[in-house]
Amino acid sequence: MSRKKLNIGLFGFGCVGFGLYEVLDKTPGLKANIKNICVKDKNKAREIGAENFTFDKNDILNDDDINVVVELIDDADAAFEIVSAALKKGKAVVSANKKMVAEHFTELLELQREYNVPLLYEAACCASMPIIRNLEEYYDNDLLESIEGIVNGSTNYILTKTFAENLSYEEALKQAQDKGFAESNPILDTGGFDAKYKLLILLAHSFGYIANPTDIFNIGIDNIGGLELKYAREKGLKIKLVAQAFKGANGNLSAFVIPKFVGNEDRLFTVDDVFNGIITKTSFADTHFFVGRGAGAHPTASAVLSDISALSYDYRYEYKKIYQQEDLVLSNQVSLKVFLRHTKEEAESLKEYFDTIEESYVNNESGYITGNISLENLKTLQSQNKGERSFILLNIEKEKETAVHESLILA
């Protein structure tokens, strides 16, 4: 099969955009050249000459020689305008923007169908790790039982540094930002939103389920404190921000992003620093484990490059599972075993939210409860948490036979 010649219009020349420029330069076999680059800030010093840049998106969108738009900007709303305009012009698009893809999944699906052009976004989910194409191509509709993993490199880096190297949360976040791992708006990472956007994309490609961001419950790492770290250390556990989706015994789908204590028997235990790891569980093959760098200029650019290369062979996502959808229902009727940290004053009042209580401890300032709680009650507790209860952390362990989830909350 002969490869198409690709003329690229690139949006964004930051961490990933410049990374792509370098990576493309070192990949002469790919018949792809960047014809024009659109950026925003007219006063910024650039690594390459000014003649390569434009500040007007229409210079790319209206250029008939450009057949591929690569969108690598940090503004999801502007990205959606650019991507939808490019698709309407019949240009293939590659994007790394998970927020945009997750928030506009159905519209983007329709645009691809209506204008018969592909949109690829491997880099939007776990950066260098090739998970979307694997989910899309390898797993048939009824094979997947669950998908679980660390999908945000920035928070995994922060958790690793605070846990293993005793860095303060602020220092670790600053390092993640300096290394180009973090989103421009850090709350997207630390609040678990970036992980949630990725989970939405994974849900569509693994189970054929298109969810709205508001459908999926997320807790981030920004409330994790010293008590949780101490608890984890004493028990030989690590804290990871874990996104997961699984089919329950009733056939319904559950999906959420919640920090989890993981023990050394869990494959995610060894996924540290900026790495991402995903475990898929299938009916007949048992588990598969994917691991790779979840952020950074060249790793992310390598996934963009892979999408560009795939376009040169006319590859597109077929969204088979969406079109074969078996009327899955997203359910909150799942029982989580949690560890809830609370203020001393709340020790008794929080117990009524639990179905069962295993352990309850209070000292002069704070305390914790371990026990089973429904996801519904957990969401209620989280929505009432205005900071007085300080931090919330959940640790989830799946009991294979019963599909009951063990979790920890620290509030």
Ligand X SMILES: NC(=O)c1ccc[n+]([C@@H]2O[C@H](COP(=O)([O-])OP(=O)(O)OC[C@H]3O[C@@H](n4cnc5c(N)ncnc54)[C@H](OP(=O)(O)O)[C@@H]3O)[C@@H](O)[C@H]2O)c1
- Enumerate the active-site residues: 198
Pick from 1, 26, 29, 41: which binds ligand X (CB under 6 A)?
41
x-or-dash string of contact with ligand X, 151-170, rule CB under 6 A? --------------------
Task: In angstroms, give the least distance from the CB of 307 to ligand X.
Answer: 12
Nearer to ligand X, 300 or 306 (CB): 300
Instruction: Give the Cβ contact number of residue 358 at 10 Å.
Output: 12
Contact pick of 24, 39, 60, 308 for ligand X (by CB under 6 A): 39
Q: Considering only 9-17, 207-215, 313-321, 362-370, which stretch makes contact with ligand X by CB under 6 A?
A: 9-17
Closer of 181 and 353 to ligand X (Cβ) = 181
- Of 14-22, 156-164, 170-178, 324-332, the window that binds ligand X (rule: CB under 6 A) is 14-22
Report the C-alpha gap between 15 and 363 in whole angstroms: 47
**Beta carbon of residue 322, minimum distance to ligand X (angstroms, whole number):** 23
Query: What is the C-alpha separation between 108 and 210, in angstroms, rounded?
Result: 12
d(CA 34, CA 393): 45
Q: Count the helix, strand and coil residues of the chain and give each as a percent rounded to the nearest 5.
A: 35, 25, 35
Shortest Cβ 10–ligand X spacing (Å):
9
Q: Could you tell me the smallest distance in angstroms from the CB atom of residue 205 to ligand X? A: 17
Scanning the structure block, which residue is given the tokens 């950074």?
296
Quick check: 201 and 151 in contact, CB under 8 A?
Answer: no
Q: Which stretch binds ligand X (CB under 6 A): 8-16, 112-120, 362-370, 382-390?
A: 8-16
- Work out how close the CB of 72 gets to ligand X at its nearest, in angstroms, rounded to a whole number: 5
If one asks whether residue 47 binds ligand X (CB under 6 A), the answer comes out as no
CB < 8 Å & 24+ apart, contacts of 326-331: 326/141, 326/208, 328/207, 328/208, 328/209, 328/247, 328/251, 328/252, 328/253, 329/252, 329/253, 330/209, 330/211, 330/215, 330/252, 330/253, 330/254, 330/255, 331/248, 331/250, 331/252, 331/253, 331/254
- 72 sits near ligand X (criterion: CB under 6 A): yes
Interface positions with ligand X (CB under 6 A) = 11-17, 38-41, 44, 72-75, 78, 96-97, 123, 127, 180-181, 183-184, 295-296, 300
